[in-house]
Structure 1
């Protein structure tokens, strides 16, 4: 079954690549392929705890609970 899907995908790809949108398809494929390569070479990831901390920080910023870098450097605290 997998080879049938691959053949169908290849046929569709070839049809689009030979048409007026061929350049667009190739550019999109290059972008997607680069993303995969970047992900494979990326040994860093965000843990669930990291994502939760980012979410809380975004909520704090939206609620006005933050200091500017200038205020922080001058010693102000929340």
Structure 2
């Protein structure tokens, strides 16, 4: 029907490993004659916090008296 595994393993003996690719030399960057100025970011003004109003006193609810069980 096709090539048997035995024939494939026989052919693998004759395959040579791929040659190692030559190392590509990294491009050497040309030296810049004038150094580029580093851009200085503008200072961001801090937002002024809004004056917080005085906290209102939290109303404390009166304690609810527990109902006393009626005597039987």
Normalised by the length of structure 1, the TM-score is 0.18
Higher relative contact order (CA 8 A, sep 6+): 1
More helix by share: 1
Normalised by the length of structure 2, the TM-score is 0.19
